[in-house]
Amino acid sequence: MRVLVTGGAGFIGGAVCRHLAARGDDVVVLDSLAAHKHTPDYLPDSAELIVGDLADEDAVRRAVEGVDAVCHQAARVGLGVDFDDVSAYVADNDGGTANLLRALWRRSFAGRLVVASSMVVYGEGRYRCPAHGDVRAAPRTAADLDAGRFDPRCPACAAALAWAPVTEDAPLDPRNVYAATKVHTEHLSTLYGRESGATVCALRYHNVYGPHMPRDTPYAGVASIFRSALESGRAPRVFEDGAQTRDFVHVDDVARANLAALDSTWTGACNIASGEPHTIADMAAALTAGFPDAPAPVVTGDYRLGDVRHIVASPDLAADRLGFRAAIGFAEGMAAFAHAPLR
């Protein structure tokens, strides 16, 4: 199979390319290399690299020629610095996806399209009130966060809410610009499938970590930020009270999920998660254990208004429809990530 991987020189895209090449697929990479000083050495030698971004119509046209499947990973990621980033996110993620789909339309592509989405499309996760059952948590306010009231409360009775696993039929409720662009990526791709006959699957990644994560940028993931601090002899700074709950999934598992999706014809969206929830404080402690002389994590009480409190996925649909379950456990993965190469 000849597979185009957009953003194939990136953190997740690179892992997808390595797994595809290892099983003998022909890999085409479209990447601007803007985040790199040179071509990454972790890209497979057999991959065909087209240097350009999704705004480059000629590069996109060449990239889609003759491919049987497309794995769309290219995106501006992370929460961003502030709302001033809105134009860059919309141009790169909404506009980039539109340009890719237009190029596919012009060559009458009706093959397999797998797109990278994110847990952030859900906004806050799923919550249950002891009295009212499942409820939708309202966005947290600066006043509550300033007062250290980090957990959402029931909108009907103000009782403390307990989190529950989010399933793919949960309402979409993006609460930052990046999240909004991921929702739009899903919607545009689904519309393309309806118009073209292509089969489309969106993979909603949870907190991905592993080798070749970007380090020390405003868009880096929290695992990378903590790792960089520890390498510099500084304590990881844990926001809020550290009890935010997430699902940390290793990048090699995410790559395997992409291959499973490429091999399937099932259409829809799937959570891609480990099924093993942990708090941010758990993650900071697990990484710190890999640096015996490093200071202990510091819980700061700081917050970002666009962050959500708890978001934990149900991995069952991906197991049922794609045959995917994560294989790398939290302890094993974090121990290896403590000394894995970063970008």
**CATH number for 53:** 3.40.50.720
Residue 216 confidence class, pLDDT cut points 50, 70, 90: low
Task: Tokens 């991921």: give the residue.
Answer: 182
Residue 150 lies in a domain: no
pTM: 0.93
Looking at residues 110-124, what average pLDDT do you find? 94
- Of 116-125, 180-189, 323-332, the one with minimum mean pLDDT is 116-125
- pLDDT of residue 81 exceeding 80: no
- pLDDT of residue 217 exceeding 80: no
Determine contact, residues 254/317, Cβ cutoff 8 Å: no
Mean pLDDT across the chain: 93
Which pLDDT value is given to residue 218? 52
Residue 161 lies in a domain: no
Domains in the chain: how many in total?
1
- pLDDT of residue 226 exceeding 70: yes
Please report, for residues 126, 130, 162, 244, the alpha-carbon distance to residue 133 in angstroms, rounded to integers and kept in the order given: 11, 6, 10, 21
**Which of 32-46, 215-229, 244-258 has the largest mean confidence?**
244-258
**Domain assignment of residue 332, given as a range:** 2-125+166-338
Looking at residues 120-139, what average pLDDT do you find? 89
Determine contact, residues 134/128, Cβ cutoff 8 Å: yes
Please report, for residues 52, 94, 242, the alpha-carbon distance to residue 35 in angstroms, rounded to integers and kept in the order given: 12, 19, 30
Provide the β-strand partners of residue 291.
none
Residue 186 lies in a domain: yes
Residue 146 lies in a domain: no
Which pLDDT value is given to residue 221? 78
Residue 262 lies in a domain: yes
Which pLDDT value is given to residue 240? 96
Residue 147 lies in a domain: no
Looking at residues 192-199, what average pLDDT do you find? 98
- pLDDT of residue 219 exceeding 80: no
Residue 137 lies in a domain: no
Residue 26 lies in a domain: yes
270-319: pLDDT as tens digits: 999 999 999 999 999 999 999 999 999 999 999 988 788 999 999 999 99
